[in-house]
């Protein structure tokens, strides 16, 4: 939505210990966001630990932050889920 486009997806996968194991990013400028996702996976960062980082609003990077927050049901800027 930051770019005036609504097509795209950021999905974060965490294991039962809250460790981020995968990141999927689709949409405009996905390549600008994937570096942060690869670092989260490579370093074995926990979603709850990453939740304390600051991401400016509104920016593309905030999409990753919201996806990480959604791992534990804490996201606040999500579009309504499709059923």
Q: Which residue has the tokens 């370093």?
A: 43
CATH T-level fold of 9-71? Enolase-like; domain 1 (3.30.390)
* pLDDT tens digit sequence for 19-31: 999 999 998 889 9
Is 24 marked active-site? no
Q: Going by C-beta distance under 8 Å and a sequence separation of 6 or more, which residues neighbour residue 76?
A: 66, 69
* pLDDT tens digit sequence for 57-75: 888 888 899 999 999 988 8
d(CA 27, CA 7): 6
Q: Provide the whole-model pTM.
A: 0.82
State the catalytic residue, choosing from 24, 29, 55, 57.
57
- What ranges do the domains of the chain cover? 9-71
């Amino acid at each position: 939505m930051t770019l005036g486009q609504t097509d795209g997806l950021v999905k974060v996968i965490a294991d039962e210990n809250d460790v981020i194991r995968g990141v999927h990013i689709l949409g405009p400028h996905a390549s600008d966001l994937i570096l942060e996702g690869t670092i989260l996976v490579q370093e074995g960062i926990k979603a709850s630990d990453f939740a304390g980082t600051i991401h400016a609003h509104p920016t593309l990077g905030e999409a990753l932050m919201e996806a990480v927050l959604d791992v534990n049901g804490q996201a606040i800027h999500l579009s309504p889920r499709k059923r």
